Structure 1
């Protein structure tokens, strides 16, 4: 029996999450249209504790300017290679953010929280637009949850918006976990 088991090809390893992240996003508009998304990621306690142990060098449960700079350079900057784990669909065209700005880590009740802005410029010109956002890890190392209720809008008066969930079965993990895009439909005031 052991010989038969040893002769079998190895089964593919299935990923499972090591990090759990609750995500929020605010669609930010100015007078000319959508400028991007202000994102907030709230990490689980285990990941948070590890990052604090490594990067909160003075042990005050916060990140000062020097600690933030080191963390941004060594940890947050890695997300650029993965488009900040954010996928945007602008009027049906998939866009991957190649930059983020205004990164600020925070610690609240022992949990690490990222705040950052991902630009996505969509002018009001030419009528109504559909912009969908999803935040997910295609490797499923991180379990990221972005709910419809976690997406809000900061827009000038008169901007018409509507939100809806759109599942993305083409991105399904292992046939059972389906990422969701939050679709934002908007038009000029």
Structure 2
């Protein structure tokens, strides 16, 4: 899979560089993943107790954050750093649209694909770049009727995306009768070996990443 605006075959996010059309630095010689994201998620409820959005923050690893800040100074549109960050955030979200924003959502047995990302923003946090956006479902879902499950992952596993350590997902406006559980990945050794065999410039199986994805479940009672 590729995107015409990118300068190399899409590595999906690759810490924003490919999605923003910037040059990619040389990385580790072998073994996926090659970049890391700390994930924070907030499930947003409306007054009826339905989930309307998953607000996400992706905190990039320091290496790619430093490289991107340097590249951004020369390539991103805008006069100030804030304008350049806003320009890259917009491009990233635009390019992730065809890949469902790396987010897989289920309500019970139903796959939810009708989603829209809003309010993209990129900022620097202690030397690391953080991309934030709200992923809105077009039809609010009732977690008392069936649990809402989500997973955020790069399908090719070029990037590893895991919930930030000691940071549980939040419920904004949700009932006290709701709970979130995260199931840790237990990839088959065959999949682990496959990931370890992939060099930096090799594209992984588009289904590889799901084997390494955390899966969160939001379950509520009446």
Q: Where do residues 1-189 of structure 1 align in structure 2 (5 Å cutoff)?
A: 16-32=32-48, 33-56=50-73, 63-64=81-82, 66-96=83-113, 98-120=115-137, 121-124=139-142, 127-146=144-163, 149-156=167-174, 158=175, 160-166=177-183, 174-176=190-192, 178-187=212-221
**Unaligned residue ranges in structure 2 (runs of 5+):** 1-29, 75-79, 193-210
Give the C-alpha shift of residue 123 in structure 1: 4.2
- String of CA shifts for 1:10-68, please: whole Å, max 9, x gaps: xxxx86122110101000011121111110110001111121112245xxxx841x313
Radius of gyration: which is bigger? 1
Q: Distance in 2 between matches of 1:63 and 1:97?
A: 33
Which of structure 1's runs of 4+ aligned residues deviate more than 4 A?
171-174
Question: What's the C-alpha RMSD, in Å, of the aligned pairs?
Answer: 2.9
Residues 140, 173 of structure 1: 8 Å contact kept: no
| Higher strand proportion | 1
Q: Distance in 2 between matches of 1:111 and 1:22?
A: 11
SS of 1:101's equivalent in the other structure is strand
Count of residues paired in the alignment: 168
Seen in structure 2, the aligned counterparts of structure 1 residues 185 and 44 have a Cα distance that, compared at 3 Å, is same
**Unaligned residue ranges in structure 1 (runs of 5+):** 1-13
Q: Distance in 1 between matches of 2:188 and 2:112?
A: 19
Residues 87, 97 of structure 1: 8 Å contact kept: no
Q: Distance in 1 between matches of 2:142 and 2:33?
A: 39
TM-score normalised by L of structure 2: 0.65
Residues 54, 134 of structure 2: 8 Å contact kept: yes
TM-score normalised by L of structure 1: 0.75
